[in-house]
Amino acid sequence: MPKRNLRIVKRTPVAIGICEACNMQFHSKQPVEDNAEIDRVIQFDKHKCKHEDASQGAARIVREATKLY
């Protein structure tokens, strides 16, 4: 199982972080230069990894890709 670690994958205009263990995404509505990093770390610390099988992962990817922010 991958180590539970927060990886930042996109910085502008909205910074996005991903849990390396379960691929859950974290983003902040705050500007990158303000408290966005702290907000993502708090979200990451609160989450519990939920492992999913391949079919659930594919459905989640489609759902997230079509979700409007």
Give residue-wise pLDDT tens across range 1-10: 456 888 877 7
The pLDDT assigned to 62 comes to 72
**pLDDT surpassing 70 at residue 56:** no
Q: What is the pTM of this model?
A: 0.60
Q: How many angstroms separate the CA atoms of 29 and 48, rounded? A: 21
Q: Residue 43: what residue type?
A: Q
Domain ranges, ordered by start, for the chain: 6-66
Model pLDDT, residue 35: 75
Residue of 33, 27, 19, 7 whose CA lies nearest to 68: 27
Average pLDDT over residues 14-38: 79
Greater confidence (49 vs 60) lies with 49
| The pLDDT of residue 68 is above 70 | no
